[in-house]
Amino acid sequence: MSTDTTASVSTHILDTSIGRPAASVTVSLAARSGGGSPYVTLGASATDADGRCKDLPALPEGTTHVRLEFDTETYFSKKQAEAQQDAPRVRDSGAFFPEVTIAFAVVPGEHYHVPLLLNPFGYSVYRGS
């Protein structure tokens, strides 16, 4: 939850190749204060059955930029392995983008919901509500 001096971040992932939430995707959260500062990893979470990360760590006071990193390679490798049990290989395995990294600016007092629409060969991200 955001306060007057901090921002907050949430995310969820929808796998548009199957029209469902993407469960069990690891999401790392990093933050920095100022454009020239290095990012500091604050923690990680995994998406639930609804594709949501409900326990991302709070942002420290003074955060100006946030980075979310999504481990898409592991997710799509698992999906490919599950598909191979039921049918012969019909397309490339894995993900073209092994990870998706999104960086964005934040201001104190605001909440930032950043959904990721994902498929094996592309993605889209936006500021949600």
pTM of this structure: 0.88
Where are the domains positioned within the chain? Answer: 8-125
> Please, what's the b/e burial string for 79-107 (b: 16 or more CB within 10 A of its CB; e: otherwise)?
bbeeeeeeeeeeeeeebebeebeeeeebe
Distance in Å from the first CA to the final CA of the chain: 13
CA-to-CA dists, residue 124 to 15, 75, 81, 116, 121, angstroms: 11, 17, 24, 6, 11
- Looking at residue 79, the DSSP 8-state letter turns out to be H
Q: Which fold has domain 8-125?
A: Immunoglobulin-like (2.60.40)
Segment 11-60, tens digit of pLDDT: 999 999 999 999 999 999 999 998 889 999 999 999 999 999 989 999 99
Tell the residue number behind the tokens 């950043």, with chain if given. Answer: 114
> Please, what's the b/e burial string for 37-50 (b: 16 or more CB within 10 A of its CB; e: otherwise)?
eeeeebebbebeee
